């Protein structure tokens, strides 16, 4: 008697929620399919026979190497300077802080090509920084350095924003206690804040690295050469057509899937949701 | 039988009340903790001033009274507009001399509410956090502390794997590791289940007896303050209402505000009929709505015959009995029970002595049963002089 009562009470809201559930599931399924179907069709349609010849193209491997190297260097530099900035933004208040917070978002909202133009104006051969450096033989545009500069500009906000919110979620009382235990500012950062923000920072760095790896718009303006993988794909696409670009797209896909696998592994290791 | 036993207890308490302010002994003045601090916030001003002897001091007051802020001020963790803070000869803050000792150098052990253990460190690492020792010495010190707070075997667990009581002990050990001059505990028991809280109160007092480090503990719980404190500082709206020994504050609250906070809710108004000097005390006879009540008063308070006064009643000193009497005996009054309200292990029995005089008396269930008390019952109420508290502030009413 009691049991049936409880059951009927449960089933009533469940059934009404069921309709909403179906609608929401269908809406969600549409977008999920929209993302998955092209990828699957891409793999199915790929001219697997011509793959080996395309993959023996040394320029493709060179482009991949350039991409991996530049994205990794950019990410290290972003971490080195971006994590301290995130900490300062999370912990201190100073005049103009709100403005700085907004400015950091600009590279996210800019079309990447615009970011590239902005950088080229400053670092290009006729810019106030790029000019003198070019004069002494240190060209920034069309070099690996140029690629890295473009990637840092575009990817840094992801790291900074993620790290800042990771620092902000730390209970301030932990730092207060550490202070009463004799720990100075430097120690607070290394022994309390940084280890506790680790998960968020790692998430930000992975996101930033992926953003740098896939960067096209700013890179193509700032440094057309040496080719990164996205730029080389574009070159093949415009030169040979889709057939020429397909094996390279597969290469890019494999790298991305590999990274997602890595993220899942890290997530499993640190027991925290990274992305 | 039962009555004679109650009487013994009464006599004992009587001798206790004769000895006020035992907590402030002159020999301990060298290590007094002094704080004067002002801080203006939008809508709230902290303006506190108290000096307490070493021992277990409880900052007691309702939430929002500035207790936690006071604790943070002692630790050096909050900005103050002006302040003078010193522990004995150690000066921590003096805004006039532009002197401020940062929290890192005060050697205070701070245990915030819900303990703030470092979640990324295990028990041993948490405790060792503030140690300047390294290697074998550090390990030995941590082992000592773990033993002191009875956490043996849990060294390698993370805070999230511990119970509330265990977390508290880790926080205490961590705070003790640096051999602090003062321990600051912010609502140490409020994060715990009611069942655990009772045991841990006693454990906390025992812990204090073991380590004997001066302690300042914050609580909004009157019972907790009563059980733990040597000295009580009563705070409300950012100000100190009273500082005194536990005995003073709970039995002789200085003002009606303090009386409300410590649970002395009964108020009667009357006039002083006569004053008689008895040793160091004065016997005051009060006329309250025609009833004659006796009260005791220390000699340092000026009062005079004819003065109107407010009294508070220590309801735990009242005795309730059956029968009718025409007030032949001293301090015995007849009344009638109004309501009886359940309060768990006891009941609050409201006794009406006259239309404007009533008092809520805690009565144990066995007592209620053996006297067959029910609403409307005629009872006799013994109000001994120990039950009557004269408010010092009411004495200004003639001026």
- How does residue A251 score in pLDDT terms, banded at 50, 70 and 90? confident
- Is the alpha carbon torsion for B85, B87, B90, B92 positive or negative? negative
Compute the average pLDDT of residues A189-212: 91
Whole-number pLDDT of residue A262? 83
Question: What's the mean per-residue pLDDT of chain B?
Answer: 86
Nearest to B70, CA basis, from B121, B21, B28, B36: B36
Hey, is the C-beta of A168 within 8 angstroms of any chain B C-beta? no
Number of H helices, E strands in chain A: 13, 0
Tell me if B225 sits within 8 A of B58, measured CB to CB. Answer: yes
Hey, is the C-beta of A173 within 8 angstroms of any chain B C-beta? yes
Compute the average pLDDT of residues B244-266: 92
pLDDT over 70 for what percent of chain A?
Answer: 90
Neighbours of A214 (CB within 10 A): 19
Cis peptide leading into A226, omega within 30 of 0? yes
For residue B77, the chain A residues in CB contact (below 8 A) are: 176, 179-180
Compute the average pLDDT of residues A54-77: 90
**pLDDT tens digits for B95-123?**
999 999 999 999 999 999 989 999 999 99
| End-to-end C-alpha distance for chain B, whole angstroms | 48
For residue B132, the chain A residues in CB contact (below 8 A) are: 182
Asked if B75 and A182 come within 8 Å (Cβ–Cβ), the reply is: no
For residue B72, the chain A residues in CB contact (below 8 A) are: 176
For residue A183, the chain B residues in CB contact (below 8 A) are: 104, 129-130
- What lies within 8 Å, CB to CB, of A136 at 6+ separation is none
For residue B112, the chain A residues in CB contact (below 8 A) are: 173, 176-177
Nearest to B183, CA basis, from B150, B207, B154, B167: B207
**pLDDT tens digits for A221-242?**
998 889 999 999 999 899 988 8
CA distance B46 to B190: 23
Residue B278 has pLDDT above 90, yes or no: no
Which of B112, B116, B178 faces A182 most closely, judged by CB atoms?
A: B178
Which of A181, A196, A198 faces B178 most closely, judged by CB atoms?
A: A181
Residue A164 has pLDDT above 60, yes or no: yes
**Facing residues of B216 across strands?**
B57, B184
- Distance to chain B for A161, nearest Cα, Å: 22
Tell me if A38 sits within 8 A of A119, measured CB to CB. Answer: no
Whole-number pLDDT of residue B4? 39
Nearest to B296, CA basis, from B381, B387, B382, B383: B387
Which of A171, A182, A195 faces B116 most closely, judged by CB atoms?
A: A171
Tell me which of A181, A186, A192, A199 to substitute to probe the interface with B (most B C-beta atoms closer than 10 Å).
Answer: A181
Hey, is the C-beta of A184 within 8 angstroms of any chain B C-beta? yes
Whole-number pLDDT of residue B19? 38
Residues of B with CB under 8 A from a CB of A: 72, 75-77, 102-110, 112, 116, 118-120, 129-130, 132, 174-175, 177-178
- Distance to chain A for B216, nearest Cα, Å: 15
- How does residue B30 score in pLDDT terms, banded at 50, 70 and 90? low
Asked if B110 and A177 come within 8 Å (Cβ–Cβ), the reply is: yes
Residue B372 has pLDDT above 70, yes or no: yes
pLDDT over 90 for what percent of chain A?
Answer: 53
- Phi, psi at B313, each rounded to 5°: -115, 125
Our measurement of the distance from residue B187's CA atom to the centroid of its chain's CA atoms, rounded to an integer in Å, reads 13
Helices A58-91 and A144-168: angle between axes, nearest 10 degrees: 40
Which of B110, B118, B178 faces A176 most closely, judged by CB atoms?
A: B110
Provide the Cα torsion A67, A69, A71, A76; round to 10°. Answer: 180
**pLDDT tens digits for B303-331?**
788 888 899 999 989 988 887 655 556 78
Residue B284 has pLDDT above 50, yes or no: yes
Nearest to B233, CA basis, from B15, B33, B17, B367: B33
This model of the complex carries an ipTM of: 0.79
Compute the average pLDDT of residues B339-352: 90
Considering only residues B248 and A268, tell me which one the structure prediction assigns the higher pLDDT.
Answer: B248
Tell me which of A93, A174, A175, A177 to substitute to probe the interface with B (most B C-beta atoms closer than 10 Å).
Answer: A177
**Facing residues of B236 across strands?**
B239
Residue B24 has pLDDT above 60, yes or no: no
Question: What's the mean per-residue pLDDT of chain A?
Answer: 86
Neighbours of A265 (CB within 10 A): 10
Asked if B178 and A174 come within 8 Å (Cβ–Cβ), the reply is: no
Residue A173 buriedness (CB in 10 A; 0-12 / 13-18 / 19+): middle
Whole-number pLDDT of residue A127? 86
Asked if A182 and B112 come within 8 Å (Cβ–Cβ), the reply is: no
For residue A198, the chain B residues in CB contact (below 8 A) are: 120
Q: What is the DSSP string of B273-291?
A: EEEEEETTEEEEEEEETTE
Compute the average pLDDT of residues B281-296: 88
- How does residue B300 score in pLDDT terms, banded at 50, 70 and 90? low
Nearest chain B residue to A199 by CA distance is: B120
- How does residue B23 score in pLDDT terms, banded at 50, 70 and 90? very low
CA distance B335 to B337: 7
**pLDDT tens digits for A76-107?**
999 999 999 999 999 888 999 999 999 999 99
- Distance to chain A for B298, nearest Cα, Å: 43
Residue A17 has pLDDT above 60, yes or no: no
Q: What is the DSSP string of B318-343?
A: -EEEES---S-STTEEEEEEEEEEEE
**pLDDT tens digits for B123-162?**
999 999 999 888 888 899 999 999 988 899 999 999 999 9
Tell me which of A180, A182, A198 to substitute to probe the interface with B (most B C-beta atoms closer than 10 Å).
Answer: A180
Whole-number pLDDT of residue B350? 94
- Phi, psi at B28, each rounded to 5°: -95, 5
pLDDT over 70 for what percent of chain B?
Answer: 88
CA distance B12 to B21: 17
**pLDDT tens digits for A145-158?**
999 999 999 999 99
């Amino acid at each position: 008697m009691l049991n049936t009562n409880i059951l009927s009470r449960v089933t009533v809201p469940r059934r009404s929620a069921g309709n909403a559930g179906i609608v929401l599931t269908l809406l969600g399924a549409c977008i999920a399919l929209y993302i998955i179907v092209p990828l699957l069709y891409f793999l199915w349609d790929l001219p697997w026979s011509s793959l080996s010849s395309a993959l023996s193209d040394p320029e493709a491997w060179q482009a991949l190497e350039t991409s991996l190297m530049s994205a990794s260097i950019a990410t290290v530099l972003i971490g080195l300077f971006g994590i301290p900035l995130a900490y300062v933004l999370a912990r201190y208040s100073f005049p103009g802080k709100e403005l700085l917070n907004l400015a950091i978002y600009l590279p996210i909202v800019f079309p990447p090509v615009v970011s590239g133009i902005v950088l080229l104006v400053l670092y290009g051969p006729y810019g106030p920084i790029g000019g003198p450096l070019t004069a002494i033989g240190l060209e920034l545009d069309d070099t690996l350095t140029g690629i890295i500069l473009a990637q840092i500009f575009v990817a840094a906000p992801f790291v900074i924003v993620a790290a800042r919110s990771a620092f902000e979620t730390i209970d301030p009382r932990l730092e207060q206690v550490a202070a009463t235990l004799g720990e100075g500012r430097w120690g607070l950062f290394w022994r309390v804040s940084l280890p506790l923000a680790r998960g968020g920072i790692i998430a930000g760095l992975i996101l930033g690295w992926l953003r740098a790896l896939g960067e096209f718009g700013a890179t193509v303006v700032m440094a057309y050469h040496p080719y990164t993988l996205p730029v080389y794909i574009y070159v093949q696409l415009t030169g040979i057509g889709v057939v020429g670009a397909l094996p390279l797209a597969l290469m890019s896909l494999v790298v991305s899937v590999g990274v997602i696998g890595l993220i899942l592994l890290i997530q499993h290791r640190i027991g925290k949701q990274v992305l | 039988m039962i009555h004679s036993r109650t009487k013994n207890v009464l006599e004992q308490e009587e001798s206790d009340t004769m000895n006020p302010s035992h907590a402030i002994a002159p020999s301990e003045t060298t290590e007094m903790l002094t704080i004067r601090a002002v801080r203006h916030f939008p809508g709230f001003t902290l303006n506190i001033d108290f000096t307490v002897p070493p021992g277990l001091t409880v900052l007691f007051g309702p939430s929002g009274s500035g207790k936690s802020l006071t604790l943070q001020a002692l630790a050096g963790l909050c900005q103050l507009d002006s302040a003078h803070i010193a522990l004995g000869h150690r000066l921590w803050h003096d805004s006039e001399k532009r002197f401020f000792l940062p929290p890192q150098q005060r050697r205070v052990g701070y245990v915030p509410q819900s303990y703030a253990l470092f979640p990324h460190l295990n028990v041993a690492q948490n405790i060792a956090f503030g140690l300047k020792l390294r290697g074998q010495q550090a390990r030995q010190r941590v082992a000592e502390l773990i033993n002191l707070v009875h956490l043996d075997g849990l060294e390698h667990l993370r805070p999230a794997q511990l119970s509330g009581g265990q977390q508290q002990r880790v926080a205490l050990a961590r705070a003790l590791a640096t051999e602090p001059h003062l321990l600051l505990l912010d609502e140490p028991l409020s994060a715990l289940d009611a069942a655990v809280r009772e045991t841990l109160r006693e454990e906390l007092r025992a812990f204090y007896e073991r380590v004997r480090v001066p302690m300042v503990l914050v609580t909004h719980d009157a019972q907790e303050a009563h059980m733990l404190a040597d000295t009580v500082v009563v705070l409300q709206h950012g100000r100190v209402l009273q500082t005194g020994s536990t005995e003073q504050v709970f039995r002789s609250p200085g003002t009606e505000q303090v009386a409300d906070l410590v649970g002395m809710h009964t108020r009667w108004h009357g006039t002083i009929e006569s004053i008689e000097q008895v040793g160091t005390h004065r016997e005051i006879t009060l006329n309250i709505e025609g009833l004659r009540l006796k009260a005791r008063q220390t000699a340092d308070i000026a009062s005079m015959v004819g003065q109107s006064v407010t009294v508070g009643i220590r309801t735990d000193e009242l005795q309730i009995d059956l029968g009718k009497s025409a007030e032949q005996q001293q301090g015995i009054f007849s009344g009638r029970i109004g309501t009886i309200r359940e309060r768990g292990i006891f009941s609050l029995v409201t006794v009406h002595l006259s239309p404007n005089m009533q008092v809520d008396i805690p009565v144990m269930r066995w007592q209620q049963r053996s006297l067959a008390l029910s609403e409307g019952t005629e009872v006799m109420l013994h109000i001994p002089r120990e039950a009557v508290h004269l408010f010092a502030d009411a004495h200004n009413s003639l001026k």
